[in-house]
């Protein structure tokens, strides 16, 4: 802490300091600033030194920078004295001062500051190292303890534990058509702990049926320490939209073992045509129904006549789905059918295109009970017999 203020002048150098008291910090160090002024009318070169007093030791003091410096006429230089008192220094009050002499004529060109006081606290006692024999005895006792019940006690306090880690930690599937199944992806569960990990059967957090498992080598298995198991997962959506669930394994260690599964499902346009369709009114030439199947991007059409058939005749055709409406050339007749399903897959519009290019009025068809048929279910099975002639 800085306290007081002093000034001493000489024939050549005047030395001032902001404080005549210095306080050592917790590390027994301090810094004291001095301003040295050349009071003569000629340039001088001066040399500074610290004078230790009251049994203070010279090695406790050091000047920052060069001790010898050039002074212009009436010029000044800033000096800083560092105090660094060793931990073993005796407690007590000490003083020091800064003196500056002219290099060319030290007897007549000089100056000194007022004395700066500081107090040294009680010396810090260094802890004495333990005798070597104590370390030897401690090592022998430790070996005896660990060689007997001590090891058992340590194991009891630090039991082996299982730890499960999935790789990858989550699976994301590309967009998949409803009713179709993606290629499988494999996850691996590794027991990175030091105890066995006993797994129960795999389950889904929300009972999902959209992610079928295969090659399941994890369910109801015991995974040894550092060993692993694997399971294949596919994406087979039953409904549209983003689907998310977690594959979980209950286990003996009570660990939260779960893998996040995510996929997006949509109806493919060809798949929306599949099913059994009935005309809202009377169909072209009296057809009572149309059965459509969709496989591998192709649409197959089979018409059925009422019973009795009247002027209706049964025919069929197949066309690759490339654009809409879908034009299907029917056989054995020489006509074609133009088909277009709505976005929801519940309404079908049909035109009959004759060989000469003319076409019938559009006929609207609906599904049985207006229930959308999922492609995965294949052709609709009805309770009513369908004529085969």
Specify the CATH number for the domain of residue 359. 2.40.128.20
The three-class DSSP label of residue 178 is coil
55 belongs to a structural domain: yes
Residues 34 and 16 in one domain: yes
Residues 16 and 114 in one domain: yes
347 belongs to a structural domain: yes
Q: What is the CA radius of gyration of the chain?
A: 49
pLDDT at 144: 65
Structural domain boundaries, residue 370:
270-377
Would you state the structure tokens that stand for residue 146, as one six-digit string?
A: 């660990």
Q: How far is it, in rounded angstroms, from Cα 309 to Cα 291?
A: 17
Question: CA nearest 205: which of 259, 168, 255?
Answer: 259
Domain boundary among 238, 266, 294: 266
The three-class DSSP label of residue 199 is strand
pLDDT at 279: 83
Number of domains present in the structure of the chain: 4
Q: What is the pLDDT of residues 78-124, one digit of tens each?
A: 999 999 999 989 999 999 999 999 999 998 899 999 999 999 998 76
Question: CA nearest 299: which of 333, 335, 274, 336?
Answer: 274
Q: For the whole model, what pTM was predicted?
A: 0.38
384 belongs to a structural domain: no
Q: What is the pLDDT of residues 246-256, one digit of tens each?
A: 999 999 888 88
Residues 275 and 366 in one domain: yes
Residues 61 and 148 in one domain: no
pLDDT at 295: 81
152 belongs to a structural domain: yes
Q: What is the pLDDT along the chain (389 residues), one digit of tens a residue?
A: 334 444 444 468 999 999 999 999 999 999 999 999 999 889 999 999 999 998 999 999 999 999 999 999 999 999 999 999 999 899 999 999 999 999 999 988 999 999 999 999 987 666 667 788 787 877 776 666 566 555 555 556 667 788 889 999 999 999 887 777 899 999 999 998 889 999 999 999 888 889 999 999 999 999 999 899 999 999 988 877 899 999 999 998 888 889 999 998 876 778 788 888 888 865 444 456 888 988 877 889 988 776 665 666 678 889 888 888 988 988 766 688 888 988 777 888 988 888 888 888 888 888 764 334 333 333 333 323 223 33
Question: Hunting for tokens 């010029």 — which residue is that?
Answer: 75
386 belongs to a structural domain: no
pLDDT at 188: 95
Residues 291 and 200 in one domain: no
Element (H, E) at 143: helix 132-147
Residues 248 and 275 in one domain: no
389 belongs to a structural domain: no
Residues 65 and 152 in one domain: no
Domain boundary among 208, 238, 266: 266
| Largest CA-CA distance found in the chain, in angstroms, rounded | 144
25 belongs to a structural domain: yes
Residues 320 and 345 in one domain: yes
pLDDT at 334: 65
- Output the domain CATH number for residue 34: 2.60.40.10
Residues 192 and 241 in one domain: yes
Residues 108 and 142 in one domain: no
Could you write out the DSSP letters of every residue in 256-320?
A: -EEEEEEEEEE--HHHHH-EEEEESS--GGG--EEEEEEETTEEEEEEE--SS-TT----EEEEE
Residues 149 and 205 in one domain: no
Q: What is the pLDDT of residues 72-90, one digit of tens each?
A: 999 999 999 999 999 989 9
Residues 10 and 109 in one domain: yes
pLDDT at 85: 95
174 belongs to a structural domain: yes
pLDDT at 359: 86
Mention every residue, 6+ apart, whose C-beta is less than 8 A from residue 25.
Answer: none
Element (H, E) at 112: strand 110-112
């Amino acid at each position: 802490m800085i306290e007081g203020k002093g000034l001493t002048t000489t024939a050549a150098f005047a030395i001032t300091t902001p404080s005549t008291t210095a306080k050592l910090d917790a590390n027994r160090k301090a810094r004291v600033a001095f301003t040295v002024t050349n009071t003569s009318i000629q340039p001088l070169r001066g040399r500074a030194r610290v004078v230790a007093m009251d049994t203070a030791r010279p090695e406790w003091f050091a000047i920052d920078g060069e001790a010898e410096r050039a002074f212009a006429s009436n010029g000044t230089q800033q000096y800083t004295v560092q105090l660094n008192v060793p931990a073993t220094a005796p407690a007590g009050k000490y003083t020091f001062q800064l003196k500056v002499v002219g290099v060319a004529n030290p007897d007549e060109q000089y100056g000194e500051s007022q004395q700066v006081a500081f107090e040294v606290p009680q010396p810090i006692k260094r802890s004495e190292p333990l005798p070597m024999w104590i370390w030897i005895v401690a090592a022998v006792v430790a070996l005896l303890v660990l060689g007997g019940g001590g090891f058992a006690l340590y194991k009891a306090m630090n039991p082996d534990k299982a730890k499960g880690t999935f790789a990858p930690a989550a699976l994301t599937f590309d967009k998949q058509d409803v009713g179709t199944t993606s290629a499988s992806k494999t996850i691996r569960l590794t027991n990175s702990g030091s105890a066995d990990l006993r797994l129960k059967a795999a389950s889904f957090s929300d009972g999902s049926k959209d992610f079928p498992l295969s090659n399941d080598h994890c369910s109801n298995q015991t995974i040894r320490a550092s060993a692993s198991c694997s399971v294949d997962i596919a994406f087979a959506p039953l409904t549209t939209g983003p689907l998310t669930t977690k594959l979980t394994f209950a286990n003996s260690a009570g660990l939260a073992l779960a893998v996040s599964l995510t996929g997006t499902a949509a109806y493919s346009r060809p798949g929306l045509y599949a099913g059994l369709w009935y005309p809202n009114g009377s169909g072209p030439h009296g057809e009572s129904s149309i059965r459509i199947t969709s496989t591998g991007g192709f649409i197959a059409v089979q018409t059925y006549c009422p019973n009795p058939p009247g002027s209706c005749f049964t025919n069929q055709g197949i066309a690759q789905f490339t654009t809409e409406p879908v034009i299907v050339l029917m056989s054995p007749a020489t006509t074609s059918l133009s088909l277009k399903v709505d976005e929801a897959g519940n309404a079908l519009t049909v035109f009959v295109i004759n060989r000469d290019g003319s076409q019938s009025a559009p006929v609207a068809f609906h599904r049985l009970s207006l229930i959308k048929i999922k492609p995965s279910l294949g052709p609709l099975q009805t309770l009513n017999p369908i004529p085969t002639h």
